[in-house]
Amino acid sequence: MYARYDYNAGASISNLLSDIVALLTGTTDKATLSASCNQASTQIISQVAAGWTLHDASAGTNMQCLKAPLADDASAFKYLCVDLNTTGYLFPKVYEAWDATGHAGTNMASTSDSTSYNQRIDTSNGGSLYIWASARFVMFASQTAAGWASTTKPGPSGIVERTRYLPWDTPAAGWPPFLWCNLGYAMYGTLGYSPRQMQKDETPVTGNASSLTAGTVCFSTLAMPSGSDQKVPDGAGGSTIPAWPLMGHNVNQMPLMYGEISSLCDIWVIPDNMAATHDVLSMDGKQYSVVQTNGTTESMIIRKG
């Protein structure tokens, strides 16, 4: 699912929360959204289902908790709390587990409640919130008078699921194969933070120690090559922009990749200086949104629809 959700000046937080949750839980008709939504310019594309269900409507003040099943174990879930309690921000809080009776979570992913790395909301003047989602991930990016996306290392933020690369990381072992992620932060090295992950000595870590570093095939970091000469033949006499899979590792904990994001979430890395935010690129017959991830030169693409 892709949505450009435009909201009016004077929008209420309760309306924004209900609209965002409605979009993530399957609403495809913008006419059903609240009076805070600018329906004329709001857009919803739902070729892929949003894929999330409401888990706790009373998770906290201006906060509701959603869940979606894991790719390799449909009986287990990842948890995302959409939190609008802090004035001027949307926090996509990521938890390993959430108790819908006690309204409390276990192991919140570090930085998923940061004002620096999550999305700005401007109810006074109105703005836009871009949302990409499937059962594997949710990414938010804001556009307000203050600028694009997050205030520090601006890029979309949310929850992403990864594949499992390492032999101990099995569904039966119960390690959460998902993390809070900011795609702008990733360009500086840190892909994001897991709710919990294993160290070399087989003990678990949480919080800031549970980080994953961004990488991709061919490149040990996301310092991407730049310019139009990075295009590759398209097999039909022309050329196209290449895309590389986004991967997560932590060499301080394990000397191998923990897993990759792209095959599950349809988020890919492209060369620098190739496209601008909101451009649409085609790959394998699918449309992708270009999203700025660092300054004005570096971008990734996310499935649009």
Angle at 16 (CA atoms; ends 20, 143), nearest 5 degrees: 85
Residue 11 lies in a domain: yes
pLDDT-based confidence at residue 219 (cuts at 50, 70, 90): very low
The pLDDT of 114-125, averaged and rounded, is 97
Residue 302 lies inside a defined structural domain of this protein: no
How many domains is the chain built from? 1
Q: Over the chain, what is the mean pLDDT?
A: 91
User: Quick check: is 204 in a domain?
Assistant: yes
User: What does 157-223 look like in DSSP terms, one character per residue?
Assistant: EEEEE----STT--TTTT---EEEEEHHHHHTTEEEE-SSEE-TTS-EE-GGGSEEEEEBTTBSSS-
Q: Which stretches within the chain are classed as H helix? A: 13-24, 183-187, 262-265
How high is the pLDDT of residue 220?
45
The per-residue pLDDT for 225 is 55
Q: Is 239 within a domain?
A: no
Quote the CA–CA distance of 68 and 96 in Å, as a whole number: 12
- Give the pLDDT confidence of 88-105 residue by residue, as tens digits: 999 999 999 999 999 999
Residue 77 domain-assigned (yes or no): yes
The answer to whether the beta carbons of residues 159 and 180 sit under 8 Å apart is yes
Q: What is the DSSP letter of 286?
A: E
Is residue 206 pLDDT above 50, yes or no? yes
List 158's β-bridge partners, or say none.
139, 181
**Residue 7 falls within a domain, yes or no?**
yes
Q: Do 132 and 138 meet the contact criterion of CB atoms below 8 Å apart?
A: yes
| 118/139 Cα distance (integer angstroms) | 10
Domain residue limits at 19 = 2-217
Instruction: Please indicate, yes or no, if residue 288 is contained in any of the structural domains.
Output: no
Asked whether residue 168 carries a pLDDT value surpassing 80, the answer given is yes
pLDDT at site 228: 54
Any domain includes 275: no
Exposed, middle or buried, 200 (CB in 10 Å: 0-12/13-18/19+)?
A: exposed
Q: Which two tokens stand for residue 112?
A: 């998923």
* pLDDT the model gives residue 295: 62
SS3 102: coil
